[in-house]
Amino acid sequence: MTRIVVLTGAGISAESGVPTFRGAEGLWEGHRIEDVATPEAFEADPDTVQRFYDARRRALRTVGPNAAHRALARLESAYGSELLVVTQNVDDLHERAGSIRLIHMHGELRRARCTACGARPRWDDDLADRPPCPVCRRPALRPDVVWFGEMPYELARIEEAVVACDVFCAIGTSGAVYPAAGYAALASAFGAHTVELNLEPTDAVVPFDEARTGLASEAVPAWVDEMLARRAT
Ligand code: OAD
């Protein structure tokens, strides 16, 4: 049995046409985090925040999974419940590629959250026009994404898997945002082999056992093929 935890970030979806956060073309270059990704911003100017996420939700209709997402779905076909994919991404490209054992720790663009009753309905339309919550009918829906200062989803389940895994692989994440940025060190402390697949080296606090640079669409299928070959022997 080889338990694998894969942590993905914006870099895995970059080649699908979803912008990353940091770097020259990144979302955080064109927007100030504090204007669109904090509970305070939503309170001060809900329309701007809703429009920002409405635009990103709409943009999902024009993109699709790439070879890296598909490779992880292949990995799941072979490893089944021994694999858990934890994504920081709010896009739905992993599930469209076929991943099932998947945690969206920073929430999902295609879900809304009702600030009145707590419902988290599937949502594909705009929120800026303040539609009623399908459960309580109040016009209190916000994007179901985790903003700075809020608690990510399913932390206990993620940490349990990270501590128990044999192989930990981080893909396309800069390691700038905690708690996700701390998972490689945690896995390593509990004896896992750690691998990083990223366009460029990142400065992780605890170095990865293996750090490979390159495009996710090439590096991920190659790593998955190795893991599948290992499974077969
Ligand atoms: P970042 O934008 O911080 O980092 C993306 C990483 O992907 C960088 O290290 C890039 O070098 C790498 N990258 C870019 N293109 C790539 C490609 N084609 N193949 C492989 N790697 C590539 O995104 P995240 O690390 O995901 O949180 O950011 C973490 C969190 O910060 C996000 O979930 C979001 C953001 O603020 C919240 O909104 C709470």
Determine which residue's CA is closest to atom 9 belonging to ligand 1.
Answer: 174
* Ligand 1 atom with least separation from CA of 8: 26
What pLDDT score was predicted for residue 24? 74
> Do residues 9 and 26 share a domain?
no
What pLDDT score was predicted for residue 148? 95
CA dist 57 → 24, 61, 161, 180 (Å): 22, 8, 30, 23
> Do residues 186 and 206 share a domain?
yes
Kindly tell me if the per-residue pLDDT of 28 is higher than 80: no
> Do residues 24 and 89 share a domain?
no
3-state SS of the chain is CCCEEEEECCHHHHCCCCCCCCCCCCHHHHCCHHHHCCHHHHHHCHHHHHHHHHHHHHHHHHCCCCHHHHHHHHHHHHHHHHEEEEECCCCCHHHHHCCCCEEECCEEEEEEEECCCCCCCECCCCCCCCCCCCCCCCCCEEEEECCCCCCCCCHHHHHHHHHHCCEEEEECCCCCCCCHHHHHHHHHHCCCEEEEEECCCCCCCCCCCEEEECCHHHHHHHHHHHHHHHHHC
Pocket test for ligand 1, best of 27, 29, 199, 217 (most atoms within 8 A of CB): 199
Contact 231, 208 (CB under 8 A): no
What pLDDT score was predicted for residue 204? 83
Instruction: Give 20 Cα–ligand 1 centroid separation in angstroms.
Output: 5
> Do residues 44 and 132 share a domain?
yes
Q: Is the CB of 176 under 6 A from ligand 1?
A: yes
Instruction: Give 18 Cα–ligand 1 centroid separation in angstroms.
Output: 10
> Averaged over 30-55, what is the pLDDT?
92
Beta bridge partner(s), residue 212? 197
> Do residues 69 and 8 share a domain?
yes
Q: Is the CB of 216 under 6 A from ligand 1?
A: yes
pTM exceeding 0.95: yes
Number of helices and strands in the chain (H, E): 10, 8
Of 145, 166, 201, the one marking the end of a domain is 145
Instruction: Give 16 Cα–ligand 1 centroid separation in angstroms.
Output: 13
The string of pLDDT tens digits covering residues 41-53 is 999 999 999 999 9
Kindly tell me if the per-residue pLDDT of 200 is higher than 80: yes
The string of pLDDT tens digits covering residues 83-133 is 999 999 999 999 999 999 999 999 999 999 999 999 999 999 999 999 999
When divided into structural domains, the chain yields a total of 2
The string of pLDDT tens digits covering residues 141-195 is 999 999 999 999 999 999 999 999 999 999 999 999 999 999 999 999 999 999 9
What pLDDT score was predicted for residue 74? 98
Instruction: Give 89 Cα–ligand 1 centroid separation in angstroms.
Output: 9
Q: What is the CATH number of the domain that holds 135?
A: 3.30.1600.10
Distance CA 21, CA 136 (A): 34
Q: Is the CB of 184 under 6 A from ligand 1?
A: no
> Do residues 82 and 190 share a domain?
yes
Determine which residue's CA is closest to atom 16 belonging to ligand 1.
Answer: 11
Pocket test for ligand 1, best of 173, 178, 196, 223 (most atoms within 8 A of CB): 173
Instruction: Give 9 Cα–ligand 1 centroid separation in angstroms.
Output: 5
> Do residues 195 and 159 share a domain?
yes
* Domain assignment of residue 45, given as a range: 19-62+107-145
